[in-house]
Homo-oligomer: A and B are copies of this chain.
Amino acid sequence: MKEQGRSYRNMSGKCAFFQCFDSNRKDRGVNWMEKITGVTKDSAGAAAALKAMEEGAHVKVKGAVHSVRRMGEITFLILRRRDGLLQLVCEEGKTKEGYREVREGDTLKAEGTIRKEERSPGGLEIVTEEVTKLSESKKAFPLPVSRKKLNTSLEAKLSVRPLSLRNLRERAKFKIQEGICRAFREYLFQNGFTEIHTPKIGAKGAEGGANLFRLDYFHKKAVLEQSPQLYKQMMVGVFDRVFETGPVFRAEKHNTKRHLNEYTSLDLEMGYIDDFTDVMEVETGFLQYMTRLLEQEYRPWLDLLGARLPKTDEIPSVRFDEAKQLVAEVYQRPMRAPYDLEPEEEELIGRYFKETYGADFVFVTHYPSRKRPFYAMDDPADPKVTLSFDLLFRGLEVTTGGQRIHDYDKLTAKIGEKKMTTEGLEDYLSAFLYGMPPHGGLGIGLERLTMQLLGEENIRETCLFPRDLKRLEP
C-alpha cells in the first residue's frame, strides 16, 4: 500500500484521510481521496454555546471588531457576530501584544477564558490571552457603525449599504424580515400548500401591458413578470393550494416612500374555497403564526428595534364603500377618487380602527370592479364591485387579494368586457378550459409588511438593496 498523497488540510485534522489506491487492483485508483461526512463545525463559537459554559472555561472565538474601547491598561474589543455582541477584555501584561493594533472592522480569532459579567452583552466576557487578526480593515469607517442608532439620512445609509447594514439596528430589520418570510412558508406548509417557482421572464405580463420592464430574450420581446398571478392560478389546477416567495418587477414611475420597482412578493393561491373570506382567514392565520414565531424566536431583534408586535387575534373587515364614507364623515375629508382609496384615506381608515377598536389591521373588501384586474370575480349581488379585499396594516395597504373567476366562459367574457385580447393568454386560459376549482389568493409585499411592523417611514429601510427610479446600485 502506497502512502497517501498530499493534503491541503492537515492543519484542521477534523476528518480522516483514507487510502483508496490499491496497487493490486486492476482498475486504477485515485492517489488521494477524502471523505466529507457532513459534520459541520462552528469555529466562531456560537453565543448559545458560550452561555452554557462554566466560568473559567477556555474558549476560542471569532468575530468582527465592532468597536474598541481603550481604558488605560485595559482594552475592550467588542466583537460583532451573527448572534450578537461579545466583549473581549485585553489587559497589558496579561494579553499578548497583538491586540494593540486591532481596529474597527478587522476580523479576529481570540483565545481566553469565560467570565460571567452581567453588564456585558450576553452576560459574559472573554478574558483574553491572545488575539489574532484574520483580516484587516484598510480604512476608517465613514459612518459610526457601532453606535446604537445611525443618526444619518436614509440617503447616506444607502450610499454605503454594505457598511451601514453592519449597524446592529440596521441588520436587525432583516432578521425580522427573515422571520416574516419563514412564518409565511411554515404556516402554509402546515396547511397543505405546495411551494412553486414560476418564471420571472415571460412573454406577457399578468395584469396588462403597463408598468412592465422589457427585455430582449434571444431576439424575442420579453418582460419581467410583475406578479406570479397567472402561474399560481394555473398551478391551483395541479396542487389545489400553492405559494411562492419571490421577486416581482414593476416599472412604475412612482417615487414614494412606499414603492419599490423590485420587491419580494409573498403569494398564495388556494382552490375549493367557499368564498373569498377563506383567503382572509388564511392570511389572518399566517399573521397570528408570524407574531408567535417572532415572539418566540426573534425577541432579541424586536427588542433592539423597540418593535411592537401587532394585534392579530381578530381583524375587522369593512366594505370599501363604507370605509370610504366613514373617513369622509368622521374626518371631514372630501372624497375625490371614487374607485380607489387614496393613501390618505388608507391612513385615516387605519387611524379610525386603531382608535375605535384597537386594531392594527383592517380588511377592506368589495373594491370596485373597474379598478380590479380581469381575473377578479364580481359580486353576483352587485357586479360593480368585486369579491376582493386589501389588507391595511397601520394605515398602509400590504396585501391585495380576492376570489378569481374560475369558469372559462365567464373569464373570456370578462376579458372582452375589459377590452383586452386573449392573445398571449392561451396557456392560462387552457387551465380553465379543462376545469378549475373555485379559488382565490393574495399577494403580500414583504418589504411593506416589514416596514409597517417596524414602524419605518420609508420602504427603502426594509430592503437590503432597494431598486427605485434612481437606484440601480449597489
Query: Is A116's CB within 8 Å of the partner chain B?
Result: no
Whether the pair A222, B472 counts as a contact (CB closer than 8 A) is: yes
Q: Which A residues between 45 and 66 are near B, CB-CB below 8 angstroms?
A: 46, 62-65
Count identical subunits in the complex.
Answer: 2
Question: In the complex, are the beta carbons of A217 and B472 less than 8 A apart?
Answer: yes
A144 interface contact, C-beta 8 A? no
- CB of A379, distance to nearest CB on chain B (Å): 7
A195 to B189, CA, bound (A): 18
Q: Which residues of B contact A363 (CB under 8 A)?
A: 36
CA distance A307 to B166 in the complex (A): 44
In the complex, A434→B171 CA distance in Å?
16
Residues of A343-392 at the interface with B, using a CB-CB cut-off of 8 Å, are 352, 356-357, 363, 366, 379, 381, 387
Partner-contacting stretch, out of A87-95, A308-316, A334-342: A308-316
Of the residues B174, B240, B435, contact of A135 by C-beta under 8 Å: B435
A138 contacts partner chain B, Cβ-Cβ < 8 Å: yes
Q: Which of A63, A204, A241, A472 has the most CB of B within 10 A?
A: A472
Distance between A47 CB and nearest chain B CB, rounded to angstroms: 10
Query: For the complex, what is the distance from the CA of A28 to the CA of B323, rounded to whole Å?
Result: 11
CB <8 Å contact, B237 and A199: no
Give 10 CB contacts A-B under 8 Å: A34-B316, A36-B281, A41-B281, A139-B434, A174-B239, A178-B196, A201-B249, A202-B473, A203-B472, A213-B217
In the docked arrangement, what's the CA distance between A29 and B318, Å? 11
Which of B43, B246, B281, B472 makes the CB contact (< 8 A) with A40?
Answer: B281
**Interface status of A458 (Cβ within 8 A of chain B):** no
Minimum CB–CB distance for A206 against chain B, Å: 12
**Contacting A174 at CB < 8 Å: which of B165, B194, B428, B465?**
B194
State whether the Cβ of A258 lies closer than 8 Å to any Cβ in chain B: no
Inter-chain contacts of A5 with B (CB < 8 A) = 322
A 231-258 contacts with B by CB, 8 A: 231, 234-235, 237-241, 246-247, 249, 251, 253
* CB within 8 Å for A313 and B434 given contacts A27-B330, A215-B214, A357-B20: no
A323 CB to nearest chain B CB (Å):
7
Q: Tell which of A67-75, A147-155, A269-277 binds the partner.
A: A269-277
How many interface residues does chain A have, given as a range? 35 or more
Contact A8 B381 (CB under 8 A): yes
Using A12-B277, A36-B277, A62-B437 as known contacts, list a sample of 16 further A-B pairs with CB atoms less than 8 Å apart, ordered by residue number in A: A11-B275, A20-B356, A28-B326, A36-B280, A38-B284, A40-B191, A44-B240, A82-B239, A137-B433, A137-B435, A162-B238, A162-B430, A162-B431, A174-B194, A200-B249, A428-B474
Cβ contact within 8 Å between A285 and B433: no
> A48: nearest residue on chain B (CB-CB)?
B192
Chain B hits for A467, CB < 8 A: 199, 201, 217
Min Cβ gap A163→B in Å is 5
| Contact yes or no, A313 B20, CB < 8 A | no
Nearest CB to that of A233 among chain B residues? B162
A119 within 8 A of B: no
Q: Is A24 an interface residue (CB 8 A)?
A: no
Known contacts A37-B314, A322-B32, A434-B163; is-contact A197 B464 (Cβ 8 Å): yes
Q: Which residues of B contact A169 (CB under 8 A)?
A: none
Q: Is the CB of B213 within 8 A of A28?
A: no
Taking CB atoms, residues of chain B closer than 8 Å to A32 are 318-319, 322
A37 engages B313 (CB within 8 Å): yes
Min C-beta distance of A5 to chain B, whole Å: 8
Closest to A322 in B: B30
Q: Which residues of B contact A33 (CB under 8 A)?
A: 316-318
Question: Are the C-beta atoms of A195 and B181 separated by less than 8 Å?
Answer: yes
Which of the residues B65, B185, B216 comes within 8 Å of A435, measured between beta carbons? B65
Partner of A199, one of B262, B271, B288, B409: B262
Q: Are A202 and B472 within 8 A (Cβ)?
A: yes
Distance A64 CA – B271 CA, assembled complex (angstroms) = 10
